[in-house]
A = this chain, B = another copy of it.
Amino acid sequence: MAERIRVAVVGGGAAGMSAASRVKRLLGDRAEVVVFEKGGWVSFALCGTPYYIGCEVKTLDDLVHYPLSEFVEKRGIDVRLFTEVVDVEADVRRLRWRRRGGEEGVYEYDYLVLATGAVPKVPGPWRELLGYENFFVLRSLDDADRIRGYLVRDSVRTVAIIGAGYIGYEVGEAVRRLGRRAVIVEMMPSVLPAVLDPDMAEEAAKPLLENGVELKLGTAVKEFEAEGGKVRRAVLSNGESVEADAFIVAIGVAPNRFLAEKAGLKIGSTGAVWTDERMRTSRPEIYAVGDVAETRDLVTGKPVWVPLAPAANKMGFVAGTNIAGGEAFFPGVVRTSVTGAFGTVVAATGLSMAQAEREGFRPVAAKLTARTRAAYVPDSGWVTLKVVADEETGRLLGAQAVGDETAFWRINVVAALLMKQGTVWDLFSVDLGYMPKVAPVWDPLVIAARLLMRRLGTRPKK
């Protein structure tokens, strides 16, 4: 009979709780699983925070996938809230924790799961501004609560959002939903620059502009000016300045690898914690999952860091399975992502043209705007779709779509093909269903394949 194993999980987000749940499911009483969470929530949905800010979701409770009791009572996990892990002594398999209020202790583990997530990037000089009541980042439910609480004040007229990534994009909508003026400042010349080529970014900017979100693109914040206990304005590199009643900084996140460094773990080329396909770090008894962990890009074959929730959940499942003595693998991602505002959905997978060029491919692209259902269906929507492929081999490299909700699903179909090294000719042949109410008979994906075949030929390359 095996001894009871002791599993410590640091971080109660999706990845951590997924790992913890999996170990308990497989081992039951044969494992003690302790989750250390420095905040007051577990299994929370950061992705839903913009809806909370915009009052589409009324309460923070709604953003919690499962109540604490589900984990503690049903699954038998020892969840320690408001408890930060402050050190890891990997050689003796021991961590040191500190509870809010000052209590401290150590925990000796057989396995450690680092699910410490990511932290918002805030350039050094801006950090002290986080002490002002009207200067925010959005990386926790508590942040979301503070932001909404502030934005609904009568005195708030204008909200400046720094960064036009997913969070900036979605918070832009949320701010408008609250009836406030929204100004987004983005250093790059287009919105969602990490995933969209500039031409597709123009499509993605439309719903923002049409709904009164102001965009200041291609200009960075040089400095913020505070006055009377509040930040008052952002001075931009182009000489303009943006006066606002609240500021939300959303310029990206970085893996929270403080403990990984304490434990002496290998850091990957992306800056996140190196892992193998079992989600093991360079120490076999320590796993890293979720936004702190590096994985592989199945298009390039190279390490990649994509801090998104579905991968985090799967990584947790895989780590938990392996810790419990099973064998499970997380092969990697193809960078699929989706965002949206005002009813427009923006999705992407694989590489953009710009990324494909940087990776040494010879990318070609097909782009089209098409109806998403048969023309005679009354409420047919539209999608603008761009598919990128390698001219030499015909391999699909990526796709971007902006339009109605089907944009998301068309990207998912490409993602499935990317995972299986699909080609342009596969995209032509893929057997998509057809009913006039849900799709046109020549799907935009298949039309994109036809356009690409004009460049690559209709005969598949070997």
Contacts and interface: CB of A to CB of B under 8 A. Distances in A.
Interface of A: 14, 45, 47-48, 51, 56-57, 62-63, 65, 298, 308-311, 313-314, 317-318, 321, 326-340, 345, 347, 349, 374-378, 405-406, 408-409, 411-413, 415-422, 425-426, 428-439, 441-443, 446, 450, 457-460
A144 B460 CA distance: 41
Contacts of A339: 435
A446 B337 contact: no
A434 B47 contact: yes
B413 A413 contact: yes
Contact of A438 (B338, B422, B437): B338
Contact of A329 (B331, B345, B460): B460
- What number of copies of this chain does the assembly contain? 2
A436 B45 contact: yes
A167 to B, nearest CB: 12
Given A57-B376, A62-B376, A441-B310, A458 B416 contact: no
A438 B345 contact: yes
Given A314-B446, A459-B329, A349 B433 contact: yes
A408 B431 contact: no
24 contacts: A47-B435, A48-B436, A51-B436, A309-B434, A310-B442, A311-B431, A313-B442, A321-B458, A326-B458, A326-B459, A327-B458, A327-B459, A329-B425, A335-B431, A340-B435, A340-B438, A345-B438, A405-B405, A405-B438, A409-B409, A413-B413, A415-B432, A417-B420, A419-B426
B432 A412 contact: yes
A31 to B, nearest CB: 17
Given A329-B460, A416-B417, 7 more contacts: A47-B436, A48-B374, A62-B376, A309-B441, A314-B428, A329-B425, A420-B421
A377 B54 CA distance: 13
A419 B415 contact: no
Nearest to A345: B438
User: Which 6 pairs between the two chains have the least Cβ-Cβ distance?
Assistant: A409-B409, A420-B420, A338-B433, A328-B458, A62-B376, A416-B416
B336 A45 contact: no
B415 A430 contact: yes
A138 to B, nearest CB: 15
A441 B308 CA distance: 10
A63 B408 contact: no
A20 to B, nearest CB: 15
A419 B329 CA distance: 23
B417 A334 contact: no
A76 to B, nearest CB: 20
